[in-house]
Amino acid sequence: MYLPRGLISHLFQHLVRTHHALSPPVLLLVALEPDALCACRILTALLKRDYIPHKIQPIAGYGDLSRAAEDLVRPMRTSEGGSGGIVMCLGVGGMVDLEETLGLDVDENGEGGPGDVEVWVLDARRPWNLSNVFGAPVSVHPVTGELMRKQTGVDKGRILQSYKPGKGGIVVFDDGDIEEDLEAEREAYCALEEMPEIGEDVDDDSDQDSDDPDEDPPVSGQGPKKRKSWGADNDETEDDSDDERPRQRRRSNSGSSIPSSPEIRPARRGLLSTSNALGGSSDFSRSDSPRSRSVSPVVAAPKEKSVKRLRKQLLAMRNKYTNVLDGYYQLGASYSEPVSSLVYSLASELGREDNDLLWNAIVGVSSLELYGRTGNGVGLNPLTAAGGSAGWNGDRGERIRAVLRDEVRRLNPIDLKDIAREASMGDASGVLPTHARSPTDMSIRLSPEPRFLLIRHWSLYDSMLHSPYLSARLHIWSDAGRRRLHKLLAKMGVSLSQCKQSYTHMDMELKRGLRERLLKFAPVYGLDGLVPPPPRNGDMKDGWGFVRCWGWKACLSAVDAGVVLGAILEVGDAKSLNQSSFDTSNFIGSQDHSEMANGNEEQQNGNVMVHDAQEHIIARFWTAYDSLSSIDLLVSHISTAQHLHRAILRTGTSLIEKKQIRHLRAFRMAVVKEGPDVQLFTHPGALTKLALWIAEAIVELNGTKGKKKGGELVMAGLDDSRGLYVVVGLGGGGAMETAKERMAKREEKRKEREKKKQAKTQEREKKRQARIERNLAAGLEEDEVEDDTEEEDEESESDASDEEAEELQAQGSGRNRFGNAFQEVVRETGARVRVDSFEACVIEIRKEDLSGFLERLSMKAVVG
């Protein structure tokens, strides 16, 4: 089921009204990423205000999700002696069938079920598992006692205002995409769920024109099969290849095998009986309406269709809907609205927004750019001349940031005494705020943030040197690139001695004029998007970033806060870091340490390593969680972020200088297997940041700037302690087409098809009338005249299928399809892999299987 955006507060308000002292605590399953972490902070603040107890459980991957399901979720079911309750998944599980993953499904004996456990899913990853979106929980029919998938107040998966929570099930929070873009998938899923059973396929070579209503139906049509209506997985007797459901294999939760796309499990009713098929009670048994014939005054009664023809028609419809669902899953990965933004919308709907919640939402939204999460999946961000973070997620990302800027203005009004000061020091000169207005100032401000890294906490030189945007365009990895940077600084009138000291201690006149100088000289070096443009219409600060101060303690931008939070989650505690040695277990992921897929190797590190790694994961999560409310703790980990980005620059420069980036057929490949920072890049998040740095450099080196393709890259990091590689696949990025543009193009194509269809219909009608007159003149009865209605229907269905295919292709253009390609290669090669990350483009693979895997992968389409 899905909750429309307009009803976003419906379930939460019901929770507040029905909560009492004996109510079970709300369970929050939170992904280990800044966006989900910020969303968790907002939700817990809302729960605390209403005195609702809650429990937070960090979830690093599918292995953790399975363990949480076994230890925390299933005991909540009333069938297990629990009291039911609510489970909130933040950035967790949107791409898998959560009903099965969390153990809330019904088994073959009709036992189990949600047990009054309701799961709220908020996830930005796409594609959705449509079983979560449109499926309903299992309930018992009040008359027959049979199990069925039907819920009061739910219309084809859509929750209505009349819906009353409390009976359990999976509820997906819609950010608007389901209502706008998934209407065809909704229709297909619900049609398949209600579609009758078909026992045997139709032989295309058999006599298909037999219209005798008295002919014996095939064996499979003798009577209805007794089936449960709550699922289709119990049908073990079907051996017909054409009767397969539009299923997608589920993602493996235990790491035992690589998953396919999410599974579709629409329930099916029993097979149509002969009486139902011929009696006209089914939509599939109605004959076409007789056309008016002007030649003869007598109209023959319509012929009833045979069971074979009905079955054939049913099969065609099922195949059509199956193709719609399969096409959706094959589009590739993408990202929609950040979870933190969606949860802030909930707080706004409840009227409880404040500066703390707004700041958490801003940090969560800003962090997505750091990991390359765009509307086309994980890949390069489309860069525009707007500067700042304006390239993230195209028009949709800019709309979200525009709303956040409006919220900043509303919740942080400027005092009259500061208006003149802001006009002279803010908009006009573009000085970056580095301190608060007063000791008690906790406000959020708009700032013309350049594409520098941690500029307030580093020197100007180091900030520019470690900026991925600047590094790629100046070729900073080479001596010529360093000289180019020095020349840019010299043209701006900034000496090396000045720019290598802390930015806060630089000459004030240099800081005042920095933005104007960058606007003047940056375009000479191809750095058009280095800083945001001047405000339009006085106050339209497109591309401007966000800054918050905590009195005299600190002043951080939202991007800087996201950088630090990510470093805490990926690296660990700054106190344990030094330049030469690391605590190895600090970098071990929380992946399920079970056997690799297709292999029988024993666990190398045993339960002790798993326990130690899990402790490190939980410790890093709570450190990052506390940092969102403790500015001292957050500032203390700035050194961790600096260390991580020094390692990215060091490792990326080494790979480029040693020419260790190979160009394969469909993508480029780089492997990190030596050097002082190799263990650092065994974390998927850190490895993704390195891959983005290198991909951006490759695009610049090969002159493909502005194109949609060229940044496809597979990056592998060696984890020698476990004998495997962590592999990340980046898409090519590029500006994506908006939904409005797609709708306009679709409307144009539809009009063209309508014109062609009308012309064909008129031509066919002329030929048909001529044929009728000719046959009647020859003495034939009217009912003996050949009717081409079925041919017209088939042609119309073909045109509709072509239109849907073109729409899907346009919608999936440029998307990251590495997840789909990984699945195909594993099935073909039998490589031993483990999938634990929620990112479809991240896997782990045995060392000896990597070369064969990449060779086969190079033949696949990795970008839609």
Close Cβ partners of 775 (under 8 Å, ≥ 6 residues apart): 784, 785
CA dist 710 → 196, 656, 666 (Å): 47, 16, 9
Tell me if 598 is assigned to some domain: no
Paired sense of beta strands 842-846 and 724-730, if any? antiparallel
49 belongs to a structural domain = yes
Number of domains in the chain: 3
Longest dimension (CA), the chain: 105
Mean pLDDT lowest among 92-101, 210-219, 530-539, 798-807: 210-219
CB 389 within 8 A of CB 559: yes
pLDDT (mean) for 745-773: 78
| Domain boundary, last residue among 494, 525, 556 | 525
Residues 512, 692 contacting (CB under 8 angstroms): no
For the ranges 69-78, 155-164, 779-788, the lowest mean pLDDT is seen at 779-788
Helix (H) or strand (E) holding 172: strand 169-173
CA proximity to 66, closest of 740, 591, 724, 847: 591
Among 491, 525, 559, the domain boundary falls at: 525
What values do phi and psi take at 21, rounded to 5?
-65, -30
Q: Among residues of the chain, what percentage have pLDDT more than 90?
A: 39
Residue 567: the pLDDT is: 94
Question: Average pLDDT for residues 570-596, to the nearest whole number?
Answer: 49
Tokens linked to 785: 């005249």
Say if 448 falls within a structural domain: no
Higher pLDDT, 445 or 284: 445
Give yes or no for residue 839 having a pLDDT over 70: yes
Specify the DSSP element, H or E, that contains 187.
Answer: helix 183-194
Inter-residue contact 721 to 496 (CB < 8 Å): no
Q: List, in order, residues 6 or more apart from 267 with CB less than 8 Å away.
A: 148, 149, 193, 228, 229, 230, 231, 232
Backbone angles phi, psi at 444, to 5 degrees: -105, 135
DSSP 7: G
> What pLDDT is attached to residue 289?
40
d(CA 408, CA 358): 8
pLDDT of 52 strictly over 90: yes
pTM of the predicted model, to two decimals?
Answer: 0.79
Coil, strand or helix at 349:
helix
pLDDT at res. 385: 42
Q: Could you tell me if residue 318 is inside a domain?
A: no
Flag the least confident range among 241-245, 321-325, 455-459.
241-245
pLDDT at 237 over 60: no
Q: What pLDDT, on a 0 to 100 scale, did the predictor assign at position 90?
A: 96
Quote the pLDDT of residue 745: 62
What are the tokens at 599?
């292999």
CB 307 within 8 A of CB 218: yes
How confident is residue 117, by pLDDT bands cut at 50, 70 and 90? very high
Nearest to 715 by CA among 654, 673, 665: 673
Q: What's the CA gap between 250 and 93, in Å, rounded?
A: 11
Distance CA 189, CA 264 (A): 8
Q: What's the CATH code of the domain at 171? A: 3.40.50
Average pLDDT over residues 320-344: 92
Mean pLDDT of 476-483: 92
158-159: strand order across its sheet: 54-59, 26-31, 85-90, 117-122, 169-173, 2-3, 158-159, 154-155
Average pLDDT over residues 825-845: 92
Residue where a domain stops, chosen among 473, 497, 525: 525
Report for 23-32, 575-584, 801-810: range of highest mean pLDDT: 23-32
Average pLDDT over residues 574-588: 44
The answer to whether residue 361 sits within a structural domain is no
Encoded tokens for 260: 């396919």
CB 98 within 8 A of CB 121: yes
| 826-836 mean pLDDT | 91
Q: Which residue has the higher pLDDT, 147 or 122?
A: 122
Average pLDDT of 333-349? 94
List b or e across 685-705, with b for residues whose CB sees 16 or more CB atoms inside 10 angstroms.
bbbbbbbbbbbbbbbbeeeee
Residue 825 counted as domain residue: no
Q: Is residue 233 part of a domain?
A: no
Backbone angles phi, psi at 56, to 5 degrees: -105, 130
What 3 state SS string does 202-228 have?
CCCCCCCCCCCCCCCCCHHHCCCCCCC
| Residues spanned by the domain of 143 | 2-186
Cα distance between residue 493 and residue 487, in whole Å: 10
Residue 136 lies in a domain: yes
Average pLDDT estimate for 380-404: 67
pLDDT reading at 758 higher than 60: yes
- Are 65 and 93 in contact by the 8 Å Cβ rule? The answer is yes
- Please tell me the distance from the alpha carbon of residue 780 to that of residue 773, in angstroms, as a whole number: 10
pLDDT at 748: 74
